[in-house]
Amino acid sequence: MTQGSLKLGTLAGIDIRVHYTWFFAFVLIAWSLALGYFPTANAGLGAGTYWVLGVVSALLLFGSVLVHELGHSLVAGARGIRVDSITLFIFGGVSNITKEASTARDEFLIAVVGPVTSLVLAGLFWLIAQVLPAGTALSGVATYVAFTNLLLGAFNIVPGFPLDGGRVLRSILWGTTGDMGPLHRTAPSVGPPQ
């Protein structure tokens, strides 16, 4: 996923990259928020304000995806598995983990931390939205980011590859049976159709 991507920097020894497809997703999300969500949620603001809110919300959404992937990467690193890079692209993000986990426990911890991170972010942004005055632009941004993180966490825990839930299921079956061999076939078969 590093081909066609731009390096933004390095965090905890991990290259942070943006694939060119990310720009399409970013513009589409900011545009839909500026013309659809925010004029409905926060009537009476100017078009320029809606665009600023759309851009800020899109950046916070992709920032949340980056934090989700950092969760995977930092746990992998703590378990002795090197992570070369994280790349944000049109469908989200991907951590370039250099090797598979060697134990079911490592696999479980690396996989489950992503959805947990997204759900924690959802709770954090929901609390921020509750503290801010209702109906304000900042409250609208916090509510949007809370909702999208909730969706991200819930979607990623679906038990099918390539989602985190497929890896969680694989780790549970691996830990239960002690054999990872047939698990590459089992976990994908219980997930959504590809």
Task: Report, as residue numbers or ranges, the catalytic residues.
Answer: 69
List 97's β-bridge partners, or say none.
83
Give the separation between CA 184 and CA 177, rounded to whole angstroms.
Answer: 13
Token output for 84: 């070369």
Measured CA to CA in angstroms, residue 143 lies from 10, 54, 185 at distances of 30, 13, 39
Q: Which amino acid is at 175?
A: G
Is the CB of residue 93 less than 8 Å from the CB of residue 65?
yes
What are residue 11's DSSP bridge partners?
14
Cβ contacts of 131 within 8 Å, gap of 6 or more: none
CA–CA separation, 97 and 58 (whole Å): 26
Output the CA angle 90-92-93, nearest 5 degrees: 115
Q: Is 177 left (phi over 0), alpha (psi -120 to 50) or beta?
A: alpha
159 CB contacts (<8 Å, ≥6 apart)? 165, 166, 168, 169, 187, 190, 191
